[in-house]
Chains A and B, each alone.
Chain A
Amino acid sequence: MRLSGYGRVDRTQSVPFRFDGRMLTGHPGDTLASALIANGVRLVGRSFKYHRPRGILTAGSEEPNALVEIGEGAGRVPNVRATVQEVHEGLVAHSQNRWPSLERDLLAVNDLAAPFLGAGFYYKTFMWPAAFWERVYEPAIRRAAGLGSFTREADPHRHEKAFASCDLLVIGAGAAGLMAALAAGEAGADVILAEEGAEPGGRLLAEAEEVGGRPAQDWAAATLARLGAMPNVRVMPRTAVTGAHDGGTYGALERVSEHLAHPAPECPRDCFWRIDARVAVLAAGALERPVAFPDNDRPGVMMASAVRAYLHRWGVVPGARIALFAAGDDARRTARDLAAAGVQIAAVIDPRADAPAPEGIDAPYFAGGQVVGTSGRQGLTAIRVRAGGRVRRIAADVLAMSGGWSPTVHLACHMGGRPVWDEALGAFLPPREGARGAVPGLIPAGAAAGVFDTAGCLASGLAAAGEALSRLGLRAPRIEVPEAEDDPGRSVPLFRVSGKGRAWLDFQNDVTVKDVELSAREGFVSVEHMKRYTTQGMAPDQGKTSNVVALAVLAEATGQTIPETGTTTFRPPYVPVPLGTIAAGAQGKGFAPERFTTSHDASAARGAPMIEAGLWYRPSYFPARGETTWREACAREVAMVREAVGVADVSTLGKIEFRGPDTGAFLDLVYTSRFSTLKPGRARYGIMLREDGHVMDDGTTARLSDDIWVMTTTTAAAGQVMAHLEMVQQCHAPGMATRFTSTTDGWAQFAVAGPRAPDLLAQVLDGGHDAGSFPFMACAAVTVAGVAGRLFRISFSGEHAYEIAVPARHGAALWRLLCAYAEGLGGGPYGMEALNVLRIEKGFPTHAELHGRTTAFDLGLQNMLSPRKDFIGKAAATRPGLLDPGRERLVGLRPVDKAGRLLAGAHLFKRGAKAIRVNDQGYLTSACHSPTLGHDIALGFVSAGPERMGERLSMVDHLRGVTTEVEICSPVFLDPDGARARS
């Protein structure tokens, strides 16, 4: 019901929306919850386990009951709190966890079975038969229990992430937060004021109080206007700070367009912020605690402070006859304010026997009374009050309750700190700064620091700002604390009322007092064990309203005090954050950067499928007319290279350019073999080890002139090698005069391979080409169509081959030229598949073989470990275990029957031996069909392999179900003396 003269919604405009198909209207400024209350809707959901009817409990993000699905189709979002979602034109909301309808939910029978469904019931009940757990029990339980459901479709929403930094982050814009931001803003600090609600003001918007001689709402609005005029203050409404992290970093979720009927298409739904703050003020307020009494979960039982908030902020009352059950003076304002608004007060029940009767409220008053039961099938109709030795039934459709307040200490505990129990306040306070796990630079203020009167909150905010400013080296401005209510009233904490029937603690996960007591009886007496056994506090609301009540019940059950019992661990995020928001930008193309070679477009135009190599995209093969499989294309490309000439883009290999007089000495340190003796105009193959003696990478380094050295690395290890070189130089050889930089993206480099390669070069190089004067492993500066380039005579195919490099801006043009010339010579471009076959035929290793556990010895490269100089990994490489002949060492493998298939990843066993781990003889790292030889070939590692040439083994691939008889052979299948490359 909407009351005239109350609330901050704009009544001049109506906003139509739908709830469970019903067309309702609200006003701008309404949350879905306030609009539902205005429309008389009390039943908004069904509970998690027992499918109990549930209504709105709170007016904030701590809401456990009123979870709804927002939107339709792929864009539907489950578990949205109706107390947070603002209404807008066309908003579509549905209740959750009910079938077929909210009013007639068939699974409400669960509630009748409640005696069997206590904590841990499924561990005890669904024990046998074991196979039934996955197939029958679990799916059935999952269907019955639960909250909202996923759409199982791709998330159509736009999410964003953003970064900000500031001197001072103020978390929460209530009395304390506004005051802190005002003082820091006046002092000239860079301030971010983050407020999770739609409108800053906090409790100032929800109480009938005066600040500075005017209504508190007006003071808040005026302060906000002042802050808005300060260029150094950024006010961020709808922004919940979700976590406190190392180094003053805070996470925050901003709801950017969830409240808009027609957001601009480029507008994200929400944004995840990382805010770096030099200092922060925690002014997050406090959460009112429910009281655990029998049947306290009926729609109509609400928090006393929420009822006031609905009255003052939204101008709605949730019923016509409202009772109050509270042990604190502050909650009496609910009865006072409602009575002033003309709402009938059914009763005021105060468990304190000595509390005086509330003044000016014409309603039955029960000092020392307790609510011991409720009735009403789908909403409250009456309460049962025990007072003076008898129990009365009192008709009421709303019960406003308050068990006291818990400061919102969560963020202050996110780095492992434990809150401190304050006996006088009956509340946990944030850990003191400097205490173990306390968040450095986070200053609590206001209700979050246990200050519960408005004047105190204003003063506390000002003091916190003063402290923050002194840490920032800024002078605090002279600001007076405005006059305000300064009496927090008396109160005692009230956690539970004993009585027959289930008393709920965690409304969202359906945990009752009995469950916690059962947990204690069964030995789960630690609060962390109790939490996991009962699931207390493990629902999306993380027990914001219920955890403290539950641990008080546990303390009572175990005979401990509350501080002895302690709290569970507080972890980010404070409010649920959609995974899509955390992952913002990382979907689809945003998942990883893409690197393209200069020949990419030309390759794609030829229909080449691309495969990923690290972040690079490389052509797999170039399909020719009439070819239907990749194998056909690959075989043609291999034959082309072996018989004519092929060209391939090898720009993705890492290129690192060195200058400086000590470059040779530095390369001696990083490579196992000597490079300082390399003459200008020559290139050399080398391997690098890690310090533990295993091979890290291989490649060639060319010395183009006296002072220009160019190292190539493998595509996959380029970044790793660069970091390694930096470390070796900075940590181990800081005195060496050498400098290097990555030039991978600066040069386009193409392999030209095959017997006709010299003919192609003669056509493409300015001044022609004489292979006779440019021997194997030569390098030189050349000119290509007027462009200065580099030529290397190196071969990864075993053929007479070159790599030719030009500045990347000329890459696309050179590629077209090379392809055209190659085709003129009976060749053409080849892709990664052919490149792989060509190198396997020659036994050249890649990272399939250099997989991090192999040594130079394993690869048959032990002669490259120079005994005459030091190098990285030398000491470790000489360990006897790394030189044991019995190690798994590189060999070639071929099928005994030419039709036999070889598969990389398969393992080798002696013939007749069982194919199990203890009989393992080795494994295959690379395998392919060799079109040159007409059968499959493979590289692999076999125990003492080089000493077992000709031995037959059984190759077993358990995954693909393939067994092939193989023979150990040399890893070099073709041209073992290398005559073709040197020709």
Chain B
Amino acid sequence: MRLDCPLCGPRDLREFTPRGAAVHARRPEGETWSEAWHHHLHLRDNPAGRSEELWYHGSGCTAWLIVERDTATHEVFSVRLAAEGGA
């Protein structure tokens, strides 16, 4: 499997670490515990199919990436930089 890093180009899977659903990159508002925080931390969708995930290019440019891919077929649709509003 390869990911097409927007900064480095297509790179081998072993340069990346997955970090779960991309919602991780979208921090809810508010400094106190709320239903929104509960959903953010604990209630994640786990689709067998198209999903958005957060990946870290730790052995490359250290960019955090929003990867849109299919968890059933492993097809990758898009790779964006989290820092550029990918989230």
A residues bordering B, Cβ < 8 Å?
A: 245-247, 249, 276, 415, 437, 440, 691-692, 719, 722-723, 726-727, 729-732, 734, 870, 874-876, 878-879
Say yes or no: B33 contacts A876, CB within 8 Å: yes
Q: Does B82 belong to the interface (CB within 8 Å)?
A: yes
Please measure, in the bound complex, the distance between the C-alpha atom of A874 and the C-alpha atom of B31, giving whole angstroms. 6
Give every chain B residue within 8 A of A879 (Cβ-Cβ): 33
Residue interface mask B27-68, A partner, CB < 8 A = 1: 110111110010001000000000000101010001110000
Chain B residues 72 to 86 lying within 8 A of chain A, measured CB to CB, are 73-76, 81-85
Say yes or no: B81 contacts A730, CB within 8 Å: yes
Known contacts A723-B58, A874-B31; decide if A731 and B83 are in contact (CB<8 Å): yes
Say yes or no: A246 contacts B34, CB within 8 Å: no
Say yes or no: A727 contacts B56, CB within 8 Å: yes
B63 to chain A, nearest CB (A): 7
Give every chain A residue within 8 A of B33 (Cβ-Cβ): 875-876, 878-879
Q: Does B87 belong to the interface (CB within 8 Å)?
A: yes
B33 to chain A, nearest CB (A): 5
Give every chain B residue within 8 A of A732 (Cβ-Cβ): 25, 27
Say yes or no: B32 contacts A875, CB within 8 Å: yes
Say yes or no: B82 contacts A692, CB within 8 Å: no
Say yes or no: A876 contacts B58, CB within 8 Å: no
Say yes or no: A730 contacts B82, CB within 8 Å: yes
Name the contact of B41 in the complex, choosing from A415, A870, A876 (C-beta under 8 A).
A876
Say yes or no: A876 contacts B37, CB within 8 Å: yes
Say yes or no: B1 contacts A247, CB within 8 Å: yes
Give every chain A residue within 8 A of B73 (Cβ-Cβ): 415, 437
Name the contact of B1 in the complex, choosing from A246, A437, A729, A730 (C-beta under 8 A).
A246
Give every chain A residue within 8 A of B26 (Cβ-Cβ): 731
Say yes or no: B25 contacts A731, CB within 8 Å: yes
Say yes or no: A875 contacts B30, CB within 8 Å: yes
- Chain A, Cβ-Cβ closest to B58: A723
A892 to chain B, nearest CB (A): 31
Q: Which of A692, A731, A732 has the most CB of B within 10 A?
A: A731
A184 to chain B, nearest CB (A): 21
Give every chain B residue within 8 A of A415 (Cβ-Cβ): 73-74
Say yes or no: A875 contacts B83, CB within 8 Å: no
- Chain B, Cβ-Cβ closest to A248: B2
Say yes or no: A731 contacts B82, CB within 8 Å: yes
Give every chain B residue within 8 A of A727 (Cβ-Cβ): 19, 25, 54, 56, 64, 82
Say yes or no: B17 contacts A723, CB within 8 Å: yes
Say yes or no: B31 contacts A875, CB within 8 Å: yes
Between-chain CB contacts (< 8 Å), 11 pairs: A437-B73, A691-B27, A723-B17, A727-B25, A730-B64, A730-B81, A730-B82, A731-B26, A731-B82, A734-B84, A879-B33
Known contacts A730-B83, A876-B41; decide if A247 and B62 are in contact (CB<8 Å): no
Give every chain A residue within 8 A of B25 (Cβ-Cβ): 727, 731-732
- Tell me the total A-B contact number using a CB cutoff of 8 A: 71
Please measure, in the bound complex, the distance between the C-alpha atom of A744 and the C-alpha atom of B45, giving whole angstroms. 38
Give every chain A residue within 8 A of B1 (Cβ-Cβ): 245-247, 249
Name the contact of A247 in the complex, choosing from B2, B64, B85 (C-beta under 8 A).
B2
Name the contact of B83 in the complex, choosing from A247, A722, A723, A734 (C-beta under 8 A).
A734
With A437-B73, A691-B27, A875-B32 given, name 11 new contacts (CB 8 A). A246-B13, A246-B74, A247-B13, A726-B56, A726-B63, A727-B82, A730-B64, A731-B25, A875-B30, A875-B37, A878-B32
Give every chain B residue within 8 A of A875 (Cβ-Cβ): 28, 30-34, 37
Give every chain B residue within 8 A of A876 (Cβ-Cβ): 33, 37, 41
Give every chain B residue within 8 A of A247 (Cβ-Cβ): 1-2, 13, 74, 76
- Closest 6 CB pairs between A and B? A246-B1, A731-B25, A730-B83, A247-B1, A246-B74, A734-B83
Say yes or no: A691 contacts B41, CB within 8 Å: yes
- Chain B, Cβ-Cβ closest to A742: B62
Say yes or no: A870 contacts B31, CB within 8 Å: yes
Give every chain B residue within 8 A of A734 (Cβ-Cβ): 83-85
Please measure, in the bound complex, the distance between the C-alpha atom of A276 and the C-alpha atom of B11, giving whole angstroms. 11
A693 to chain B, nearest CB (A): 9
Give every chain A residue within 8 A of B74 (Cβ-Cβ): 246-247, 415
Known contacts A247-B74, A876-B37; decide if A726 and B62 are in contact (CB<8 Å): yes
Give every chain B residue within 8 A of A878 (Cβ-Cβ): 32-33
Give every chain B residue within 8 A of A249 (Cβ-Cβ): 1-2
Give every chain A residue within 8 A of B75 (Cβ-Cβ): 440
Say yes or no: B41 contacts A692, CB within 8 Å: yes
- Chain A, Cβ-Cβ closest to B41: A692
Please measure, in the bound complex, the distance between the C-alpha atom of A727 and the C-alpha atom of B54, giving whole angstroms. 10
A248 to chain B, nearest CB (A): 8
B87 to chain A, nearest CB (A): 6
Give every chain B residue within 8 A of A692 (Cβ-Cβ): 41
Q: Which of A730, A870, A878 has the most CB of B within 10 A?
A: A730
Say yes or no: A723 contacts B41, CB within 8 Å: no
Give every chain B residue within 8 A of A722 (Cβ-Cβ): 62
- Chain A, Cβ-Cβ closest to B34: A875
Please measure, in the bound complex, the distance between the C-alpha atom of A389 and the C-alpha atom of B31, giving whole angstroms. 91
Please measure, in the bound complex, the distance between the C-alpha atom of A245 and the C-alpha atom of B2, giving whole angstroms. 11
- Chain B, Cβ-Cβ closest to A870: B31
Known contacts A870-B31, A874-B31; decide if A730 and B37 are in contact (CB<8 Å): no
Please measure, in the bound complex, the distance between the C-alpha atom of A411 and the C-alpha atom of B56, giving whole angstroms. 31
Known contacts A691-B41, A731-B64, A731-B83; decide if A723 and B56 are in contact (CB<8 Å): yes
- Chain B, Cβ-Cβ closest to A727: B64
A808 to chain B, nearest CB (A): 21
B58 to chain A, nearest CB (A): 6
A662 to chain B, nearest CB (A): 14
Q: Which of B2, B19, B31 has the most CB of A within 10 A?
A: B31
A23 to chain B, nearest CB (A): 48
A24 to chain B, nearest CB (A): 46
Please measure, in the bound complex, the distance between the C-alpha atom of A247 and the C-alpha atom of B13, giving whole angstroms. 10
Q: Which of B28, B75, B82, B85 has the most CB of A within 10 A?
A: B82
Please measure, in the bound complex, the distance between the C-alpha atom of A247 and the C-alpha atom of B4, giving whole angstroms. 11
B39 to chain A, nearest CB (A): 12
Please measure, in the bound complex, the distance between the C-alpha atom of A279 and the C-alpha atom of B30, giving whole angstroms. 50
- Chain A, Cβ-Cβ closest to B19: A727
Please measure, in the bound complex, the distance between the C-alpha atom of A729 and the C-alpha atom of B19, giving whole angstroms. 16
Q: Which of B58, B81, B83 has the most CB of A within 10 A?
A: B83
Give every chain A residue within 8 A of B37 (Cβ-Cβ): 875-876
Say yes or no: B87 contacts A731, CB within 8 Å: yes
- Chain A, Cβ-Cβ closest to B64: A730
- Chain A, Cβ-Cβ closest to B14: A274
- Chain A, Cβ-Cβ closest to B2: A247
- Chain B, Cβ-Cβ closest to A692: B41
Give every chain A residue within 8 A of B83 (Cβ-Cβ): 729-731, 734
Name the contact of A730 in the complex, choosing from B27, B32, B63 (C-beta under 8 A).
B63
Please measure, in the bound complex, the distance between the C-alpha atom of A246 and the C-alpha atom of B10, giving whole angstroms. 14
Chain B residues 7 to 28 lying within 8 A of chain A, measured CB to CB, are 13, 17, 19, 24-28
B54 to chain A, nearest CB (A): 8
Please measure, in the bound complex, the distance between the C-alpha atom of A879 and the C-alpha atom of B32, giving whole angstroms. 8
Please measure, in the bound complex, the distance between the C-alpha atom of A734 and the C-alpha atom of B82, giving whole angstroms. 9
Please measure, in the bound complex, the distance between the C-alpha atom of A808 and the C-alpha atom of B31, giving whole angstroms. 42
B22 to chain A, nearest CB (A): 9
A279 to chain B, nearest CB (A): 15
- Chain B, Cβ-Cβ closest to A440: B75
Please measure, in the bound complex, the distance between the C-alpha atom of A723 and the C-alpha atom of B61, giving whole angstroms. 11
Please measure, in the bound complex, the distance between the C-alpha atom of A692 and the C-alpha atom of B76, giving whole angstroms. 29
